[in-house]
Amino acid sequence: MTVDKKRKIVVVCSRSGLGRVGSSALMGLLRLGELDVGGKATGLWKPNKYNPKGYFEINGNKQCIHKIFSKFSDQFAIPPTRSQIPNMLMLAKRTINEFEKFISKEFNKQSFIAIKGIRFFIFPFLHFLYNKYDTKCIILHRNRNDQIKSMLQLHSWKGKNKLVKKRCTQWHAFGTSVLNYFSKFDYLHVDFEKLINKPTQTANKITGFLGVKSIKPQKVIKWISPGITNRWRK
């Protein structure tokens, strides 16, 4: 009898590939569930007026995953296409050691990792590490118009209505291709409205999917507070 020694990792992302879908709120729940959200070496993005409770994104990510795939996309660029996924895989294979060093540096040894994969660049690495990591993915879904309206409140996107709509459509198409291409991962789909309006039920669904202990309802409710709900609805 063999013992499964795969390290557990859950990737939080959205089919749209962009923000304002509840990924930070969900990452906060995962931290309450005692998952390791990283930042051991370089820290996490600081909270601001858009996310006062934090983003749960690792500072060092910019110098690793995002830097490696920078030629495929930057902050406002058109996303990659499905035809580019094989090239992304080739690049990931060549730089797999950099990714593993990043994981080793930013996360505690043998912890259950929770990491954002908003633009899917982590997927090619996990494809090659399939026998090393027990990969689960939580896919957040939000009404496109509500997401766009929320994004337009951000300073970096303000006044770029047409561009935001275009990018959301393009990233959604690429995200759909990615999720189909990497179909061997274990997926759970979570609706934004249910995360906000039924947080305890949603949290139980997530912990059941991950096989971790349930989070106390009062902690969940306190985290997904009226304040966070109102901010996400803007």
Mean pLDDT of 89-110: 97
Q: Which amino acid is at 204?
A: N
- Strands (E) located in 178-217: 186-191
User: Which structural domain, as residue segments, surrounds residue 159?
Assistant: 7-233
Q: Is the pLDDT of residue 76 over 90?
A: no
pTM of the model: 0.92
Q: Which H or E run contains 100?
A: helix 96-106
Residue 159: inside a domain, yes or no?
yes
If you average pLDDT over each of 65-74, 146-155, 210-219, which comes out highest?
A: 210-219
Number of structural domains found in the chain? 1
Residue 2: inside a domain, yes or no?
no
Q: Are 182 and 133 in contact (CB under 8 A)?
A: no
Q: How far is CA 37 from the centre of its chain?
A: 11
Predicted confidence (pLDDT) per residue in 35-52, tens digit:
999 999 999 999 988 888
* Percent of the chain residues past pLDDT 90, beyond the cut: 74
Q: How confident is the model at residue 222 (pLDDT cuts 50, 70, 90)?
A: very high
Residue 1: inside a domain, yes or no?
no
Predicted confidence (pLDDT) per residue in 6-26, tens digit:
999 999 999 888 889 999 999
Q: Picking from 15-29, 63-77, 204-218, which range would have the lowest pLDDT averaged per residue? A: 63-77
Return the closest-CA partner of residue 96 out of 74, 140, 141, 128: 128
Q: What is the residue-averaged pLDDT of the chain?
A: 90
Q: How confident is the model at residue 227 (pLDDT cuts 50, 70, 90)?
A: low
Q: Which residues of 75-109 are buried (b: 16+ CB within 10 A; e: fewer)?
A: eeeebbeeebbeebbebbeebeeebeebbeebbee
CATH number, domain containing residue 176: 3.40.50
Residue 24: inside a domain, yes or no?
yes
